[in-house]
Structure 1
Amino acid sequence: MAVNRLHTAELPAVLRESLTESWEAFVQASREAQFPVPSNPDFTTSLLRVWACSDFVAQTCIHDPAVFYGLLDSGDLLADYTSGEYKRKLKRILKGVDDSTVLGQRLRDFRRREMLRIAWRDLAGWASLDEVLHDLSALADTCVSLALDYLGGWAVKRLGSRGKKIKPQLVVLGMGKLGAGELNFSSDIDLIFAYPDAGAEWKRQNTSANEFYLQLGQQLIQVLDNHTEHGFVYRVDMRLRPYGDSGPLAANFDALAEYYQMQGREWERYAMIKARPIAGPGKPARQLMKLLKPFVYRRYLDFSAFESLRNLKEQIVREVERKGMQDNVKLGPGGIREIEFIVQAFQLVRGGRQPLLQQRGGLDILGALAVLGYLPAHVTLQLTEAYQFLRRTENRIQAWADQQAHDLPEDEPGRARLAFSMGFPDWEAFEQVLTVHRQRVQEHFELVFAEPEARVSDAQRDQTPGLSDVWQGTADPADAIAALSAAGYPDAEEALQWLTEFSSGPVTRYLGEQGRQRLDELMPLVLHAAASATSPLPVLKRLGELLEAISGRTTYLSLLLENPMALSQLTQLCAASSWVAAQLTQYPILLDELLDPRTLYDPLDKAGLQGVLDVRLAGIPADDLEQQMDQLRQFKQASVLRVAATDIVAELPVAKVGDHLTYIAETVLERVLQQVLEHLVERHGKPGYLRHGKLCEARFGIVVYGKLGGYELGYGSDLDIVFLHDSSGNEQHTAGPKVLDNSEFFTRV
């Protein structure tokens, strides 16, 4: 039976001959296995389109037609799986399995079947990119999780009666794209094994918990990674664990937490952003993630991440150039990795303060960056479109032979195939769109990761060399005084004396090598910025007090070094107001507000404040009152700083200042009351009372008076408030599991 010409009419000519051979081999294999050859012309056209783009799919259908017909007859090929479908299917397949050899064989067969389905639906255009990435990740999750369940159960049985109380507690973290739920078509899976501290039950065993979990981890890798006549399940990479290949295969939670706290490197923070428990019991998994969170997400802004990721990118660029990988869609210029770096830089810098950034998926974070205003909407849109295009391209490259590849093809059939799979008539049309996406990514990457020197004005660059010698003490006193005088210090001798005392004081005493390096880079810029003030020395001293306050956290030095605009705004505000300088010194977390003059000098009305607060609190668990209160405090301080900055620069009328400060106070009061009520109602139920035989809900309110009531609030004003409730009548109590009298309930409020 020959292929109908109509079926191949849309295919590039260079692909048709090999398809004819594949079709004939498939027809013969189907007849030998007594399967009816598909005759529906629409389906046959789809089949040939898929085969043209994936030799893996074609060869699987030819060599094992039962897999293809099983997918077709069951309806799975045409179906979008519901949540948990992979686990339900694999559990049925593994039922009764009692040794690791059979387990590995069935896992391999299952993986081959489902990869055929995923590739087919992708290449036929029946599945979105989101579905494809989700299915690839869910399939891997299921294979790892159920394999661990079986192996763990058998390991306990081997302990005999001594192991009756042992329940395997090994937690498997999926890293990289698996952790993010965005696995490639043919990707390694990066894993980390960890287990909680051994309980008393291990003391009665002849083996230690460490030996038990080491062996269990080895068995899991063997089942997944070993190549047999049935192929492999997944290539497993364990190099992201502490100490890499030289470290223990499985570590207990305390050892893991201590390692990251004491020795964790920046690239490990970068990697840990996507860590996700994919196998093992839920309670230990949640415990582990709670232990790791402080390492990944710092509670303060961490602009040092830009420098670390910039260095990492430079290493990758050198490797790309050395190996000639410019056509690599993952690591090459404008590739997937650059988008990931942009996304994860913002997560590392701001994720500790912004729960919306504590997600794993790249597309989710790009959306959050637009919502939060950290990147312009058109930038995140371009990066999103580029990411989707590049990920589809990467998957189509890998789907051809089920191999981990990222390079664009160089041969004519390969180029024709890739262009066709991406919906383009020829290679030139595909390459044109690809180039646009990569150029945009590269441009945005360069802007986000620009070297600090590239953001400094020519005037600053011309002035700072001499001031650098002054700061580091390498200039003679006379030359130092001359340099300070030339920079704009009328009292240059006194400025030099202060600078000498400052440089040997607390600001440098406890700095490490990295912190000292950043301070040495920053101080010439500080000296130059202060010199532009009307009274340079007092401003320099105010800046010095701030630097002393933040010197223990070098990330703030990085913030000012990475963002000359922030240093400029800081100098202007410190020159205009000692109160603002004191606020910034006391709450250096407010330095973040100096990054964007558009928001710094634009205090919000009440609706705007409520919207900003909604975003700040989004993603914080409802029961985490401590984090909610932290966000409320930071919101209040940042909002007041905006008013003060605008007051200084634009000379706001006193009435307007009072209005804005009152809006802030009202917004905070309303939100705190809402959160406290929700917390208490959850525990005790709603307060109510009977009046004239009718059940009424007791209400609570806040009455404000004084300056707050008159919209005349000042920067240092207290809030004069009174609490009221309307509970009266009979049966005044809450209606929840832990009943309280209404008077007690409202007292707690």
Structure 2
Amino acid sequence: MTPGRRSSTFTRLLRHGFTDASAAERLLETAGLGAVRDDPVLLDALGATADPDLALHGLARLLEAQPDPTARRELLDTLTGSKPLRDRLLGVLGASTALADHLARHAGDWQALVTYEPRDLHPGVEEFERGLAEAPDPVSLRVAYRRCLLSIAARDVCGTIDLAETAAELADLATATLRRALALASDAAPDDAALCRLAVIAMGKCGGNELNYVSDVDVIFVGEAVEGADEAKALRAAGRLASHMMRICSETTVEGSIWPVDANLRPEGRNGPLVRTLSSHLAYYQRWAKTWEFQALLKARPVAGDLELGADYVDAVGPLVWQAAERENFVADVQKMRRRVVENIPVAEVERELKLGPGGLRDVEFAVQLLQLVHGRTDASLRSGSTLGALRELAAGGYVGRADATQLADAYRFLRSMEHRIQLYRLRRTHLVPEDEADQRRLGRSLGLRADPVAELNREWKRHAAVVRRLHEKLFYRPLLDAVAQLAPGEVRLSPEAARERLVALGYADPAAALRHLEALASGVTRKAAIQRTLLPVLLGWFADSADPDAGLLNFRKVSDALGKTPWYLRLLRDEGAAAENLARVLSAGRLAPDLLMRAPEAVALLGDGDGGGLEPRLRPHLEQEILAAVGRADDGEQAVAAARGVRRRELFRTAAADIVGSYGTEAQTVEANQGALVDLVGGAVSDLTAATLAGTLRAVVRDGWGDTLPTRFAMIGMGRFGGHELGYGSDADVLFVHEPQDGADEREASDAANRVVSEMRRLLQLPSADPPLLIDADLRPEGKSGPLVRTLKSYEAYYRRWSLVWESQALLRAEPVAGDEELGRRFVELIDPLRYPERGLGDEAVREIRRLKARMESERLPRGADPKLHTKIGPGGLSDVEWTVQLLQLRHGWEVPGLRTTRTRAALRAAREAGLISAEDTATLDEAWVLATRVRNAVMLVRGRAGDTFPSHSRELAAVGRYLGYGPGHAGDMLDAYRRTARRARAVVESLFYQD
């Protein structure tokens, strides 16, 4: 060959889209392909395929597979003279290596593509059945199946049929294949076939007439005994026939497999019988079925076997499907199932997941099915098994805007077309967009993207996925606003009844009130109403995902009424996505955080500070500085405390919001570490805030009574949870008061001044307020309630030297200065260290006394009627169990283990483990129990707005506590079981460590 000839061919191949023109040129020089090289029509046809290199290679293999030169010449002549065959055959060869392999093995099957008649364009089940009828065994059935698949793929890649028609033809071919496989199974076991009636119900995409090229075919089997036959024997026979039919389709032979037949959607899944009677199916669905099972039945369709029995099945279960939306937690169950699907995607694959990822095909299907189940109860036109068909009817009925439906349908068609072409290449079940550039180029060209296939493909894919993400959230909620807003003529409007139905399905207990709130927020033509109509569809979804959607919406209306004229409020929610979501979570999580926000609505701004830094608790020095500055500006003590309370209110809201936002979305995860971090966050933040508030109150009292200087030094010592940095939202502040007269001061005057300070502080802090109370509790002082409120340092020293009991040493383990004179606080700590960390530890008698005191507390302090196993403070495995166990270790070993000299329970527990005083397993058990009990107490305060040591009895409050702890709707029982289980394990450790020597 001359260089000029080679250069000319090479250039022509590049111009026709070949990426490896050198290899293609060498291939065209082989025997039999000269006609292709010299025929511009054939080169143009190759260049029009998705992958010209692949198509040429497949054609070479097909020509080589022909039995003789005459057959090869016939193929080339037919290709040259028949444009339909040329487009079909080369189109398939350029899109699918798997079908090229089939043609190379079965060299005459190309002739199945020759016919080009109107009836050939849209074959149905009967035509496919005729194509499979001659298959006498599973191997030949696979060959016949691939031959039929070849004809579908050829029409698809040539654009003769669209996506919906392709998917329907694939479902029809699956139907014909199931029928032929069942016939082969029946021929192999005629006695079994004579005993029973067996119906095959298609589910999923096959049932919906929207099957993929490669997919499991989901089925359910229904069996009945023929007249006069024993039912048990008949069902066993039906089970054998069903199993054989599944094997025929699923097993791999020399011709590969067809597809797996999956019967796991049946009642009880893989643990249930393969075949049930119709009455058994109904009994299960009426008593035990979960929401997702009714969602799956949307697409149920009889396809094989006894079609009359199959129709009876569909007629019987249909009414149950359309009652599913009335089930408790219906929408939450559907949404939770969707979240679980996303959570199970490997992290490395999320961005490439075409079906299951955010903005993928499943988002479209879930949104459409959810709307069908809610509105299909009263509108039978919505009961289509096809996603695109149902979407058309939803738009026609006014449940979805026509523009939204069009956009969503376009996105769905594009994404499904991508999925089809990805699977067609190797006929493998996958939903991942390929990473290789050559694969992406072929995929883009197969979809008609020719200028820059890779760039265009990724651009279109991302655009459609973004549309799906946006409309997935909008579809279910936007029409609710349209039902109450002032719409332009011709726009879609849900009827009031349909709007109420949708709200009930979302979990709103008072849909009429919810509609009134929506009308107040979104009606009108103002800019404010327009922004609300943009925000509310997403907010409604977040409210619906909570335990109390009604409260979330009501609270949002209150905040919006309070801040509606503030220019930054709606802009913050609109422009900072985290702010809107955080606000929705906070407003629907219980009473405490919304009540705090209602008294300081401007704190909404904390929810949108950049990447969430606005919810980071402030450090104690900063808090104290702000409070002292506010106190300094106040005219008197009452104003000063009011100012300090204002800071406290805002900071409590900040902490509660951070806690709620951090707690959200933790189901299906290992959350122990997250829960522990949130407990530490709340305990540290509330303790610091309490200390700063007390410091500010002390400053106000001293200033009003004595100017700048008291006649005595004065300090407050935090005790209990306060000293341990473990305060909850509803905790009292346990303190000791200590003073020391200034040099030269009269001792009586100093004592009177110290007592007046304490009295005035308590009075100011007890003034009526809507804020959570801040109560000072000094009952841990020497002599308890009978002793003086304030003592000098020398008095404490004298008392502890002569009269101190072991319980007081134990209480002092958590003593830490929190406000007042720092030097005096430090000296108090030096005084008590020998008591709380006694040299050589505790004697046996002291240990017995501690055990006796704990037993007495358990028997005397548990509230009457309370369930001990669910009491977070005194119950077995609760806070008291863990803390007394840790404190006994501190008293015994604090003198020799520096790490134990801490006021914090979890830190002391870690130090005990590091010192070998407790095993790692027991440490983890106690820590988990303590964290969980603390979380429950915080949850109760957040949900009810008042403190409590046990779980709420009201179902909605209990569900809200569960949501905070990471349990979805309907799983409150699981939460209680988990608490009992955790506490039981902890109690076993306590029995071993605390009560045994």
TM superposition score category, shorter chain reference: 0.5 to 0.7
Tell me if the contact between 1:15 and 1:413 (Cα under 8 Å) persists in the aligned partners. Answer: no
Work out which of the residue numbers 212, 218, 230 in structure 1 matches 2:255: 230
CA apart distance, 1:430 = 1.9
How far apart are the structure 2 equivalents of 1:48 and 1:227?
A: 28
Deviation at 1:386, TM superposition (A): 0.8
RMSD (Å) for aligned C-alpha atoms: 3.8
**1:125 alignment partner, one of 145, 159, 176:** 159
Q: Please state if 1:251 is matched with 2:276.
A: yes
Residue correspondence of structure 1 range 148-547 to structure 2 within 5 A: 148-152=182-186, 154-157=188-191, 166=195, 168-196=196-224, 198=225, 201-203=228-230, 208-298=233-323, 304-425=329-450, 426-448=453-475, 450=538, 451-453=541-543, 456=553, 457=556, 459-460=558-559, 467=591
The residue identity in structure 2 corresponding to 1:362 is T
2:104 pairs with one of 56, 62, 77: 62
2-structure distance, mates of 1:14, 1:260: 47
Selected match of 1:38 from 54, 71, 76: 76
Say if 1:222 and 1:135 are closer, same or farther in 2 by CA, change over 3 A.
Answer: same
Q: Is the contact made by 1:172 and 1:279 (CA closer than 8 Å) also made in structure 2?
A: yes
For residues 99-114 of structure 1, the aligned pairs below 5 Å read: 102-114=136-148
Question: In structure 1, what is the Cα distance between the partners aligned to 2:205 and 2:955?
Answer: 31
Deviations 1:175-230 (A, max 9, x none): 1100000000111111111113x465123x9x712211111111111111111112
- Give the total of aligned pairs: 480
CA distance, structure 1, for counterparts of residue 201 and residue 133 of structure 2: 25
Residues 1:280 and 1:158: Cα distance change in structure 2 (over 3 Å): closer
Aligned residue number for residue 57 of structure 2: 21
Q: Is the 8 A contact 2:91 2:154 kept in 1?
A: no
Quote the residue 1:85 is aligned against.
126
1:416 shift after superposition: 1.0
Output the CA distance in 2 between the equivalents of 1:299 and 1:21. Answer: 53
Q: Tell whether the 8 Å contact from 1:134 to 1:182 is kept in structure 2 after alignment.
A: yes
- Percent identity at matched positions? 25
Give 1:22 shift: 2.7
Look up the SS of the partner of 1:233 in the other structure: coil
Q: Is 1:144–2:174 an aligned residue pair?
A: no
How far apart are 1:305 and its partner, in Å?
A: 3.2
Query: Unaligned 5+ residue runs, structure 1?
Result: 95-101, 485-502, 504-510, 523-553, 556-749
Alpha-carbon distance, 1:103 to partner: 2.8
Structure-2 separation of matches of 1:153 and 1:513: 61
- CA drift at 1:470: 12
Give the drift of 1:414. Answer: 0.6
Distance 1:88 1:45, change over 3 A: closer
Per the TM alignment, residue 117 of structure 1 is displaced from its structure 2 partner at its CA by: 0.7
* Deviation for aligned residue 1:406: 1.1
The letter of the residue matching 1:113 is R
Task: Kindly indicate whether the alpha-carbon contact (under 8 Å) linking 2:65 and 2:105 is maintained by their aligned counterparts in 1.
Answer: yes
- Partners of 1:301 and 1:352 within 8 A in 2: no
Q: How does 1:6-17 map to 2 (within 5 A)?
A: 6=40, 7-8=42-43, 11=47, 15-17=51-53
Q: Any idea what the Cα deviations from partners look like across 1:227-274, whole Å, max 9, x if unmatched?
A: 111222321112211222222111122222122222111221221111
Shift of 1:286: 2.0
> Using a 3 Å threshold, how does the CA distance of structure 1 residues 142 and 483 change in structure 2: closer, same or farther?
farther
**AA of the residue aligned to 2:90:** L
Instruction: Kindly state the Cα deviation for residue 354 of structure 1 after the two structures are TM-superposed.
Output: 1.6
Aligned 8 A contact 1:328 1:406 in 2: yes
Matches of 1:393 and 1:463 in 2, distance apart? 41
Tell me the distance in 1 between the aligned counterparts of 2:311 and 2:953: 34
SS of 1:172's equivalent in the other structure is strand
Local SS of the residue matching 2:426: coil
Instruction: Report the Cα distance in structure 1 between the residues aligned to 2:769 and 2:177, rounded to whole angstroms.
Output: 72
Contact 1:302 1:348 in 2 (8 A): no
Matching residue's letter, 1:453: F
Would you say the 8 A contact 2:322–2:376 is kept in 1?
Answer: yes
In structure 2, do the counterparts of structure 1 residues 149 and 300 end up closer, same or farther at CA, with 3 Å as the change threshold? same
- The structure whose Rg is larger is 2
Which amino acid is the alignment partner of residue 459 of structure 1? K
Whether the aligned pair in 1 keeps the contact of 2:49 and 2:446 (CA below 8 Å) is no
Q: How far apart, in 2, do the equivalents of 1:459 and 1:340 lie?
A: 35
Look up the equivalent residue of 1:104 and give its one-letter code. Answer: P
CA shift, 1:475, in A, is 9.5
Q: TM-score, normalised by structure 2?
A: 0.44
Aligned counterparts of 2:331 and 2:157: Cα–Cα separation in 1: 38
SS at match of 1:213: helix
Equivalent residues of 1:78, 1:121 under 8 A apart: no
1:33 positional shift: 7.8
The question of whether the paired residues in 2 share the 8 Å contact of 1:302 and 1:349 is answered with: no
Cα shift readout 1:540-594 (whole Å, capped 9, x = no counterpart): xxxxxxxxxxxxxx99xxxxxxxxxxxxxxxxxxxxxxxxxxxxxxxxxxxxxxx
Measure, in 2, the Cα distance between the counterparts of 1:253 and 1:362: 27
Kept in 1, the 8 Å contact 2:124–2:169? The answer is: no
Q: Distance in 1 between matches of 2:335 and 2:324?
A: 22
Query: Quick one: distance in 1 between partners of 2:343 and 2:333?
Result: 16
Q: What is the one-letter code of the residue matched to 1:446?
A: E
Secondary structure, aligned partner of 1:195 = strand
Contact 1:300 1:353 in 2 (8 A): no
1: CA distance between counterparts of 2:323 and 2:51? 53
The answer as to whether partners of 2:55 and 2:94 remain within 8 angstroms in 1 is: yes
Name the CA shift for 1:221/1:62 in 2 (closer, same or farther; >3 Å).
same
Decide whether the 8 Å contact of 1:53 with 1:399 is kept in 2.
yes
Q: Any idea what SS the aligned residue of 2:302 has?
A: strand
Q: Which runs of 5+ in 2 are unaligned?
A: 1-32, 477-537, 545-551, 560-582, 596-728, 732-765, 772-943, 945-951, 964-968, 971-997
CA distance in 2, matches of 1:85, 1:107: 16
Paired residues of 2:123 and 2:169 also in contact (CA < 8 A): no
* AA aligned opposite 1:108: R
Normalising by structure 1, report the TM-score: 0.58
Q: Give, in whole Å, the separation in 2 of the partners of 1:512 and 1:34.
A: 86
| Secondary structure of the corresponding residue to residue 202 of structure 1 | coil
In the alignment, the residues of structure 2 paired with residue 76 and residue 419 of structure 1 have an alpha-carbon distance, to the nearest angstrom, of 30
